[in-house]
Amino acid sequence: MNSPLIAMATGLAFWAQIASAHEFWISPEEYQVLPDARLQAHLRVGQEFDGNSYSFFPNRFVRFDTGPVAALAPVDGRLGDRPALSVTAQEPGLWLVVHETTDNTLIYRDWTKFEAFVARHDLGPVIAAHHVRGLPEVDFRETYRRYGKSLIAVGDGAGADRRVGLAVEIVAEANPYALDGATLPVRMWQDGAPRGGAQLEVFTRLAGEVSYATFRSDADGRVDLPAPRGAEILLNFVVLDPRDGNVAAKEPVWHSRWASLTFRIPD
């Protein structure tokens, strides 16, 4: 079997296993690079900044862009590339990496795992709704899709994050590479509207240690986050919506959408 086919087989096997994992995030090798340097980033799935990297597989995503914030362009990768992103960052400023996966399917064979998922991500009265719909507690399906962003400073890193049209999205309302204070305002979006009163999960890696905290957005979808110097930060939230699938026909009855944003606060 040649290398591209081996890479494809490995990637498909990996994606078949990620349902048991948690966050999806874009993981740059360096968050601050010089102009004309290589900008490289991994696509990871795992928990608390610990996750496997998967390769560049065009059939596994519907969007993969990078570039200065105002001039995003599709990533021109090769099948099996890992890290999945490797480009020359020619223009100084704030750069974005944007990734949207295709849908994937998870089969729940253990009811407690679904309960734990709903509780961890504070998804509301989903358990009651599941029972009201007369759905079984085992052998039902959920589809899910991941929407990731990452902010990288090229040279001075000047610029501002913006909405890029993802169905669920997190936007930094200040540039993390040019912060004056100790907090960073961010905003959560869902289907083009602010996601108010919802949980935002925050993973902070500082001095080799990872901490986890949750915050709740205000009515306008905003959260003011602690921004300790030298920290790598991963933000995450999940939306779960019902689907009118037929269980007997092995159709999905739930669909989750995962939004993430990564960046680093300079020392």
| Domain boundary assignment for the chain | 3-264
Comparing C-alpha atoms, which of 116, 118, 144, 145 is closest to residue 129?
Answer: 118
Q: What is residue 167's predicted lDDT score, i.e. its pLDDT?
A: 99
Q: What is residue 26's predicted lDDT score, i.e. its pLDDT?
A: 98
User: Position 254: which residue type?
Assistant: W
User: What is the number of other CB atoms lying within 10 angstroms of the CB of residue 190?
Assistant: 18
The answer for residues whose C-beta is within 8 angstroms of residue 224's C-beta and 6 or more apart is 183, 184, 185
Q: What is residue 22's predicted lDDT score, i.e. its pLDDT?
A: 83
Cα 163 from chain centroid (whole Å): 14
pLDDT in tens, the chain (267 residues): 343 433 444 444 444 444 444 899 999 999 999 999 999 999 999 999 999 999 999 999 999 999 999 999 999 999 999 999 999 999 999 999 999 999 999 999 999 999 999 999 999 999 999 999 999 999 999 999 999 999 999 999 999 999 999 999 999 999 999 998 899 999 999 999 999 999 999 999 999 999 999 999 999 999 999 999 999 999 999 999 999 999 999 999 999 999 999 999 999
Q: What is residue 229's predicted lDDT score, i.e. its pLDDT?
A: 96
CB 102 within 8 A of CB 145: yes
What is d(CA 264, CA 234) in angstroms, rounded to the nearest whole number?
A: 9
202-207: long-range contacts, CB 8 A cutoff, minimum separation 24: 202/233, 202/234, 202/235, 202/236, 203/23, 203/48, 203/49, 203/233, 203/234, 203/235, 203/236, 204/228, 204/231, 204/232, 204/233, 204/234, 205/49, 205/231, 205/232, 205/233, 205/234, 206/230, 206/231, 206/232
What is d(CA 156, CA 193) in angstroms, rounded to the nearest whole number?
A: 31
Cα 166 from chain centroid (whole Å): 11
Cα 44 from chain centroid (whole Å): 9
Q: What is residue 181's predicted lDDT score, i.e. its pLDDT?
A: 87
